[in-house]
Amino acid sequence: MDHKRGFSRRTFLQQAGLSGIALTIGCYWPALGKSVGEIIHTDDAKDAATELMTWISIDGTGKVTIFNHRSEMGQGTWQAIPQIIAEELEVSMDQVSIRFATAHPKKYGPQPQEGSFSIRGWYQQLLRVGASAREMLIEAAAKQWNVNTTECYAENGQVIHRPTGKRLSYGELVKDAAQIKPPQQVKLKERKDYKIIGKSLHRNDTALKINGSAIFGLDKKLPGMLYAVVERNPRFRGKVKSFDDSATKSVNGVKHVFKVQRAVFGLLLEGVAVVADSLWTAMKGRKLLKVEWDDDGFEHLGSEQLYARMQQDLYKPLPSDIFETALKSSSAIIESVYEMPYQSHSCMEPLNCIADVKENSIEIWGPIQEAQWIQADLSERLHIPIENVTVNMTFLGGGFGRKAFTDYPHEAALISKEVKAPVQVMWTREDDMSMGPFRAGSLYRCRGGVDTQKRIFSFQIISASQFMGPGEDKDAQPQPVTVNTGGLAGLASDYYKSIPHYSFGGVQTKSPIPTMWWRAPGANVDAFAGESFIDELAHLALQDPLEFRKAHLSSDRYQALVNKLAEISNWESRRKNDGWGVAITECFGSMVGQVVKVSRGQDKKIRIDKVFALIDCGWYVNPDIIRAQLEGSIVMALGAAVNHATHFKDGKAVEKNFNTYLMPRINEIPEIEVHIMENDEKPGGVGEPGLPAFAPALCNAIFDLTGKRIRKLPFSLEDV
């Protein structure tokens, strides 16, 4: 591969839609394993053997363009990443234009949008890029004035000479600054000196989304574009035996009907594509299509069979002699089984993708959560050089991990290749909700005990669930059953220090249903069992649930979190007949505590009165984005706890739309109060850590009020 392709300043400016002389710099890692990247010009990028990222460009008018190399699906990168750069660059946000970057590992570096990694993974590089550009502009001004750089400072898009008050705008300096070698050692601001970071600035994408000018995948159109929908096998793994398209082709505007595939974790799933000159025509044609499926060779399981199989798997691990001895040595023990449902992602914007495949190139547009995974996958599968595969990101109407997957762009590319034209492939709500991959359902066997000091002495959780993948045949070779491996996703790390005897393990349940990650993967299910069972152990020990946790969370950081959570929720005010529940979780570098208050109304039904949420995400950028993310996480967790689940019958998903896969209504959303810990810790994630704590906190509150322990989700508040 020619790594020099497309890296000159001229090419960059042309591709970016910029013009004229510009100061354009970025960051790259010249060697694997280096923790700090090197700041370079675009002209020098042709010599970079590895990854470049975080481009900023300042043109002769002083206009600053910052390229957001991450997807924007509501989590706030469109605001937070430019806000970080603008802080050190010394420009206000109204001086900044923001654009999506295309997938380009050599130009923008890793671009995955998962694991709440955008800020915690790149904040230092983002700060350094802004600071380096600032110092280059200061040096250019100092040379023009023939003064020392120490006499100059930058502010509000200008360089100012402190003794005389002379000023030069960034636009007046870019020509000279572009000739200066970017400094590698730059002094970054202390947090107390921030003007932009840490402030609740209004998100710059809000107006675009309100006035309709924001381009989501569904909004994107190309000249000569066709539309396609696909009739896919409702049992996922079945093949197309035959199809009758005579009625479909009789619909005016239907252009093509043919078999198509999409790769799901290496397994090719089949369907029949209907391509037409409008979406409505394609959908109308698909309704008339008759497909005969070959569904032999794999199981057609229903939900009852799936959970019966998990129940059997739950007791397969061989007991650990060490743990069994510890359990028997506990002064009091308890055992419980928790159950979590299968879930669809159900983003408000269903899956969609535009593909334009030519003889030696591919271009993609759509709500892409992970541009480079898709770029690499398409290059490999269609045998196109990766530098000829362009993946353009639009805004996403939700992602939750589903839009990081490679199957829907692969399917769109194959359809475009077949018809030799750009095609927008649309997934209907029913397609999106019933075709998977799903979050896997799971069972958890929890055993533990306390000692005479009312502390946890033994703690074990074994899970039975499908592992992420295309699903397995019943005759697949069994995987070894393991215990004492790793930890439990979402469990506070301090527990591993304070619990003398703990044991974790997972058993892979076989099923042909495809499963994958879902918001806060792992923690979104594990934490329900873990924090619910911690609560059971607190009651076994006759201890206050929050104080019990505090006794086991010994680090200063966790002690501060627990104390603050007690303060903001006024935990000490709880009385005998109140319903208060707490859960504390840790994932993606952040710690979250939530307190849920419940009560019975005059109609005797359980209602959620209030949720207190406290996050310790360390160094942070925009408090409003954090609050919005935690509120959204709690609403999503509420729906998953009390509203919806995906069930299966005869190998097919039952719930296909929002009439049966119910979402929380606005009148069902409780008051949510969000607080943020202030400290100097490294940044953690925000978009995912806010979700796992809610379900256990809610169920713990219901137990506190009613004495009834909720161990199976979803459940109905009306039936408690």
Give the list of residues 6+ apart from residue 26 with CB closer than 8 angstroms, or none. Answer: 39, 40, 42, 45, 52, 53, 54, 55, 56, 107, 108, 129
Rounded to the nearest 5 degrees, what angle is found at the Cα of 14, between the Cα atoms of 139 and 49? Answer: 70
CA–CA distance from 184 to each of 32, 63, 155, 364 (Å)?
Answer: 18, 24, 21, 36
Ranges assigned E (strand) in 542-605: 579-587, 590-600
349: nearest Cα among 426, 274, 423: 426
Task: Please give the distance of CA 253 from its chain centroid, rounded to a whole number.
Answer: 38
Interior/surface letters 18-56, b for 16+ CB within 10 angstroms, e for the rest: beebbbbbbbbbeeeeeeebbbbbbebbeebebbbbbbb
Whole-angstrom distance, CA of residue 222 vs CA of residue 353: 12
The dihedrals phi and psi of 445, each to the nearest 5 degrees, come to -100, 115
Sheet holding 352-358, edge to edge: 254-264, 267-276, 226-232, 423-426, 352-358, 361-366, 389-393
Contact yes or no for 617/689 (Cβ under 8 A): yes
3-state secondary structure of 114: coil
126: nearest Cα among 197, 58, 175: 197
* Sequence spans of domains, the chain: 9-211, 224-297+351-426, 303-342+438-719
User: Based on C-alpha coordinates, what's the Rg of the chain?
Assistant: 28
- Look at domain 303-342+438-719 and name its CATH class: alpha beta
Partner residues linked to 581 by β-bridges: 596
Give the list of residues 6+ apart from residue 290 with CB closer than 8 angstroms, or none. Answer: 243, 244, 245, 247
Tokens, residue 405 = 């997957």
CATH code of the domain occupying 224-297+351-426 = 3.30.365.10
The tally of CA atoms less than 13 A away on the side-chain side of residue 508 is 20
- The residue assigned the tokens 């069902």 is 668
Specify the long-range contacts of residues 30-38, CB closer than 8 Å, at least 24 apart.
36/124, 36/125, 36/128, 37/109, 37/125, 37/128, 38/184
Task: Please give the distance of CA 243 from its chain centroid, rounded to a whole number.
Answer: 38
Tokens, residue 650 = 């005869």
Indicate the pTM of the whole model: 0.91
Rounded to the nearest 5 degrees, what angle is found at the Cα of 586, between the Cα atoms of 581 and 588? Answer: 140
Domain formed by 9-211, architecture: 2-Layer Sandwich (3.30)
Structure confidence at residue 47 (pLDDT): 38
Largest Cα separation within the chain, whole Å, is 84
Contact yes or no for 36/131 (Cβ under 8 A): no
Any idea what DSSP says for residue 621?
Answer: S
Ranges assigned E (strand) in 341-386: 352-358, 361-366
Contact yes or no for 455/490 (Cβ under 8 A): no
SS (H, E, C) 291-322: EEEECCCCCCCCHHHHHHHHHHHCCCCCCCHH
- Mean pLDDT, each 10-residue run in order, the chain (720 residues): 37 46 57 47 43 62 77 82 91 83 61 63 84 93 97 96 96 88 89 95 88 94 97 97 98 98 95 98 98 96 97 88 93 97 97 97 94 93 95 92 95 98 98 98 98 97 94 72 78 96 92 96 97 98 98 98 98 90 96 97 92 97 96 98 98 98 96 97 94 98 97 96
Tokens, residue 280 = 């409505």
271: nearest Cα among 230, 234, 238: 230
Please check whether the two domains, 9-211 and 303-342+438-719, share a CATH topology: yes
- The residue assigned the tokens 């104390």 is 563
Structure confidence at residue 119 (pLDDT): 81
Burial class (CB in 10 A: 0-12, 13-18, 19+), 225: middle
